[in-house]
Copies of this chain bind each other. A is one copy, B any other.
Amino acid sequence: MQFATPTATLSHPIGESLKSRAARVVPGGIYGHLDSALLWKGAPQFVKHAQGSHFWDVDGHEYIDMMCSWGPILHGHRHPVVEEAVARQAAMVDCGNGPTEAFVELAELLTDTVAHADWAMFAKNGSDVTTLAVSLARAHTRKRVILVAEGAYHGALPWCNPNTAGVLTSDREYLAYYTFNDLATVGELFAEHRGDVAGVIVSAFRHDASYDQELTDPAFARGLRLLCDTHDAVLIVDDVRAGFRLTTGCSWEEFDVRPDLSAWSKGIANGYPIGALLGSDALRPTAQTVFATGSFWMAGVPMAAAIATLNLLKDTDGLTRMYERGTQLVGGLRAQAAHHQLAVRVTGPVTMPYLKFIDEEHHALTERWAAEVAQRGAFVHPRHNWFLSTAHTTDDIEAVLHATDAAFATIAATL
């Protein structure tokens, strides 16, 4: 397959120099999900600056940020209200010999905001709180097996990461895998592991990297709740990625389903590092028995940031605007693809959309398209859902759509 050269190829001399230096002192020069080698040749690796809905790479190229740092940036980079709360807390204490008042305020705010939540615990990573949830389910039920959706991502630890290097069979011995949105497969696992299912962990919706996204069937959500109730198992919603981008509460509230535990991180503190586990009263006594601590887990600054972030979401029409901008974006993308007679799917909630070409191998077309979009000043990811923020304006989305339309045209011209 041949492609036209992008209209203008951005050069990255500073970024390339940093990459060379990194290659000497970091295995492979980088690791994890911010590896630009997962993007297209010449993709920006190092970030210099970010403000609102835009960021600049170290070579000075500006992008409208449609990834929001893979989720954490809910209100745009360096939102003044969040930064003010951060500055106020940082002037007193961040990491101290005890928690700050913000610890109590944040727990109160989250339990007020999230319907199923009677209590909160805080950590740093999403993995910290999904792991804590699994331990809690096992401690509470005195059973072992956790049901996990095949292909779902629940964190970077040996029990859950999507890799096998250094992982032992015993690390995943008591996991069993169902198919998302397929209640029958869950029922089969409950039967197979009768009396030993401690809990079911499920993402807010199916957002497995590299694949089309899949919204949650409300009947599936309600069925999971019923199965967990029937079999005395703990229902855990992993809202780490979707939390507060679908609704001001747990993402499954729209189905009238209340989990026993929900795991949160990413967007809840607008980029400041925090994870939260929210739970119902039934799990409270057990929560006092599981081991949970970390050197930085009680730090005041991320909690102050989370309070400001959540209050901003509750006190403004930010979520509504995020949906409007998402609808504008997704509608525009679909219309453009149709106009260029290109077969793409845009899937997932409009606030966390993902676009993928249908007829391609190894994401070749999607990657080329994302590269063309980046050349024109908008940053989207070819293998992972994107993230809207409350900072995206109508003008931002129009500019993104201008870039995507030209990118579609370039792709269409080569097919």
Name A residues whose Cβ lies closer than 8 Å to a Cβ of B.
18, 21-22, 24-28, 30-34, 36, 44-50, 55, 57-58, 65, 67, 69-73, 77-78, 90, 92-101, 103-104, 107-108, 110-111, 118-121, 124-128, 131, 134-140, 144, 156-159, 161-163, 165-168, 170-171, 173-174, 265-266, 271-273, 279, 284-300, 379
Q: How far is the CA of A49 from the CA of B290 in the complex (A)?
A: 30
Q: How far is the CA of A50 from the CA of B162 in the complex (A)?
A: 41
Q: How far is the CA of A30 from the CA of B138 in the complex (A)?
A: 21
Q: How far is the CA of A144 from the CA of B158 in the complex (A)?
A: 13
- Copies of this chain present: 2
Q: Please list the 9 inter-chain residue pairs (A to B) with the smallest Cβ-Cβ separation, ordered nearest first.
A: A32-B293, A135-B166, A139-B166, A27-B287, A163-B291, A47-B96, A273-B296, A95-B271, A25-B107
Task: Assess the A47–B287 pair: CB atoms within 8 A.
Answer: no
Task: Assess the B25–A294 pair: CB atoms within 8 A.
Answer: no
Q: How far is the CA of A21 from the CA of B119 in the complex (A)?
A: 11
Chain B's nearest CB lies how many Å from the CB of A105? Answer: 9
Chain B's nearest CB lies how many Å from the CB of A282? Answer: 12
Task: Assess the B96–A25 pair: CB atoms within 8 A.
Answer: no
Task: Assess the B293–A156 pair: CB atoms within 8 A.
Answer: yes
Chain B's nearest CB lies how many Å from the CB of A318? Answer: 19
Chain B's nearest CB lies how many Å from the CB of A246? Answer: 18
Contact with A284, one of B27, B32, B144, B291 (Cβ below 8 angstroms): B27
Chain B's nearest CB lies how many Å from the CB of A375? Answer: 16
Q: How far is the CA of A118 from the CA of B25 in the complex (A)?
A: 6
